[in-house]
Structure 1
Amino acid sequence: MPEDEKTGFIAKMIGPKKRWRAYKARVKELPEDHRTAVEAVERYLMHFVPIDADSNASTFEDLVDLFEQAAANGTPIREIVGEDPVEFAEVFAQNYTEGGYAPARARKRLADDIERAAGIAAGTGTQDESV
């Protein structure tokens, strides 16, 4: 392999890893409730992410941008994702890819994780404002 091709190949492999690490570092800096929500949506979006590494990175960078802005504004989780986090995640994913299918188990897990992140007391339907 000529040196130019080798350098290009290495840059393509390292670039997405650097972007992923930078994304994860940004997620780690979010308040706990927003971080929990981003991680839940992230897990769900893994069913939809495109093959292209640049599009994949853009998806998650846009996700953390949204939650960083919401955290800075003091926006509660439910105002970001609404009452149906599965619908939120699927609409979000549609902006980046045509593929993917989320099984029922992934949909339930996302809904449960967002409920926990939003501070909804299990079974009561009331929101815990202290979260």
Structure 2
Amino acid sequence: MAAKWIELVTGSLEQKKQYKQAKARLDALPEPYLAVATAFNRYLTYYGGVTDGDTMVQMISDLADLWERAAVDGIPVSEIVGGDPIEFAESFAQAYGGKRWIDKERERLNKAIDKAKEAES
């Protein structure tokens, strides 16, 4: 009973567990993959703006898969991210739908404009 109440306030405990597991996988990477994966995770957290827990967990899990595989295969970081790491990161983030924080603000903006148009009529 208490777990359900806590999840109402904090979100899914299972998602938090999965996120921590994926983050631990990133933290276990050898250098230089660790530094790059950490930087990408941070960038995706800010840029992605994902508010849906399932989407966020899937994104970080896939990020861990990508860098673990690269480390195992010895693929150079530059070969993965190409010439524009920002473009790579943003394309990676765009592959994940889900609800983003900006969606709520877009809805508010549209409602404000609609209300203003009604007032002008």
TM-score norm. by structure 2 comes to 0.70
What CA distance in whole angstroms lies between the structure 2 residues aligned with 1:91 and 1:100?
18
1:27-84 deviation per Cα after TM superposition (whole angstroms, max 9, x unaligned)? 1211121011011111111121421101001001001100100100000100111111
Give the aligned partner of residue 25 of structure 1: 24
What CA distance in whole angstroms lies between the structure 1 residues aligned with 2:101 and 2:88?
15
User: Larger Cα Rg: Structure 1 or Structure 2?
Assistant: 2
What CA distance in whole angstroms lies between the structure 2 residues aligned with 1:6 and 1:23?
23
Q: CA deviation at 1:13?
A: 2.2
What CA distance in whole angstroms lies between the structure 1 residues aligned with 2:95 and 2:60?
12
> Percent of counterpart pairs with the same letter?
39
Give the RMSD, CA atoms, in angstroms: 2.7
What CA distance in whole angstroms lies between the structure 1 residues aligned with 2:77 and 2:67?
9
Aligned residues: 99
Moved more, 91-100 or 43-52: 91-100
Give the aligned partner of residue 6 of structure 1: 4
Greater share of helix residues, 1 or 2?
A: 2
What CA distance in whole angstroms lies between the structure 2 residues aligned with 1:6 and 1:37?
37
What CA distance in whole angstroms lies between the structure 2 residues aligned with 1:76 and 1:65?
15
